[in-house]
Amino acid sequence: MSDVQSWIKETVTQNPVVLFMKGTAQFPQCGFSGKAIQLLKASGAENIVTVNVLESPDVRQGIKEYSNWPTIPQLYIKGEFVGGSDIMSEMYASGELQTLIKG
């Protein structure tokens, strides 16, 4: 396992809510990342760890390989890959995202 893959695994397993996104929570660099942050906050998520993939091409590519998912943002809750902003929207609408975060 590469250093980047090891770092990603450590990050998602040691933090309850991790969002790999373009930009930061305070200044998202794409609409999908901005929507993901809004959904997390609306769901009651606290202490969200965000990783700005624009700061590292290795992390940007590495997270896609780690999850076998081609797009960013990517949400991890308790070490498990949840999905991107579309999946988060569906889960929020059904109440599943809030349950997962509070669980």
Q: Locate 65 and state its tokens.
A: 């390989």
Please tell me the total number of residues recorded for the chain in this structure: 103
Q: Which structural domains are found in the chain, ordered by start?
A: 3-102 (3.40.30.10)
DSSP letter at 44 equals T
Q: pLDDT tens for the chain, 103 residues: list them.
A: 689 999 999 999 999 999 999 999 999 999 999 999 999 999 999 999 999 999 999 999 999 999 999 999 999 999 999 999 999 999 999 999 999 999 7
Alpha-carbon distance of 45 to 57, in angstroms, equals 27
Tokens 């396992």 locate to: 1
31 annotated binding-site participant: no
DSSP letter at 53 equals G
